[in-house]
Amino acid sequence: MPSGPLVGPAVWTGERQAQLDDWVELLSSADAADLETALAAARALGKPLAEIGAADFPLPPRMRSRIESWTEALENGRGFVLVRGVPVEGKTRADCELMYWGIGAHLGRAVSQNAAGDLLGHVRDTGADPLDPSVRLYRTRETLGFHTDGADIIGLMCLRTARRGGVSRIASSVSVFNEIQRRRPDLVPLLFEPFPFDRNEEQAAGEPPFFELPLCSYDGEHLRMFYIGWYIRGSQRHAVAPRLSAAQRQLIDLIDEIAESPGFALEMDFRPGDIQLLKNSTILHARTEFEDFAEPERKRHLLRLWLTGHRPLAGGDALLQSGIPKKEGVAGDSGV
């Protein structure tokens, strides 16, 4: 465990970041033209999306260097980037998906996001019941609390915004750790002990309906966090899952409380063509509840990628490399 507070660019508060704009990467008209050219080249190949690699989405050295700078900001900087100005207006959904996939191929390798094996996710309200324990909340319009996902890099590209709400919120998990250390040093050791997580009925055949993982790991230099509070609480519906202790419940309540504290998180209002990139192991992300438009063609719609980075952003953590195992007979998101 760290012996004291952690320092570095990954330690930040939303109140401070809101005063800055160097985390916003504005694409120029030349950048947009490069993406259009790469899109045309990838489209002409006629390959399935999953077979499109970085070489199939050819970008000039200047644009590749820019994407490399985003990776550097994720790996060694504050852990997040907002890319603004991807040319999505007037494009078909298929072209938007291909362009986003091509950009992602320069950042890493896509991994499965659900038991259906989806490599490109669709984040939107499908009308699914948020009270159903098998329903993942990104398929609803409900509030999503602060959490991490299951890959090195988490990417969201906005196609359409909601009528109201749906604001993205992010927080530094390293800053959360420091605050836990300050407020409740007695709970810090628990961060490095296993917690049970509900699998939301996405377990493979023969697997238990929960898995166990410490919330934090530390290699002497980098702190990494994996946290989904409602999965931990939801694990208790399974009699075979270990029971949470009073101290463990206090800890997950404290993580939520800290992340929700005024000024701690940074809020982002997405625009069509925005791409939010997060280093999963150092950033917690959340979303406010939203109200959608009535017309299907106007409803909030984000594309999501889980990427294993070309650099080892997660330090080789197995869970943060391989995504969710595919389970036969599960319907994916793309046809919703």
Nearest to 302 by CA among 292, 316, 314, 312: 292
* Cα 177 to Cα 173: distance, rounded to the nearest angstrom: 6
CATH number at 88 reads 3.60.130.10
Quote the pTM value. Answer: 0.95
Q: Tell me, yes or no, whether 186 lies in a domain.
A: yes
Per-residue pLDDT of the chain (336 residues; tens, 9 = 90+): 998 999 999 999 999 999 999 999 999 999 999 999 999 999 999 999 999 999 999 999 999 999 999 999 999 999 999 999 999 999 999 999 999 999 999 999 999 998 889 999 999 998 888 888 888 888 898 999 999 998 999 999 999 999 999 999 999 999 999 999 999 999 999 999 999 999 988 887 888 999 999 999 999 989 999 999 999 999 999 999 999 999 999 999 999 999 999 999 999 999 999 999 999 999 999 999 999 999 999 999 999 999 999 887 766 676 667 788 787 777 777 654
CB 64 within 8 A of CB 103: no
**How many angstroms separate the Cα of 101 from the Cα of each of 27, 106, 119, 204, 271?**
17, 9, 9, 27, 18
Nearest to 116 by CA among 132, 99, 134, 130: 134
Q: Tell me, yes or no, whether 94 lies in a domain.
A: yes
Q: Tell me, yes or no, whether 278 lies in a domain.
A: yes
Q: Tell me, yes or no, whether 7 lies in a domain.
A: no
- Please write down the long-range contacts of 117-121, taking CB distance under 8 Å and 24 or more positions apart: 117/326, 117/330, 117/332, 118/332, 118/333, 118/334, 119/49, 119/50, 119/305, 120/49, 120/303, 120/304, 120/305, 120/334, 121/303, 121/304, 121/305, 121/306, 121/333
Domain that holds residue 318: 21-322
What is the number of structural domains in the chain? 1
Q: Tell me, yes or no, whether 12 lies in a domain.
A: no
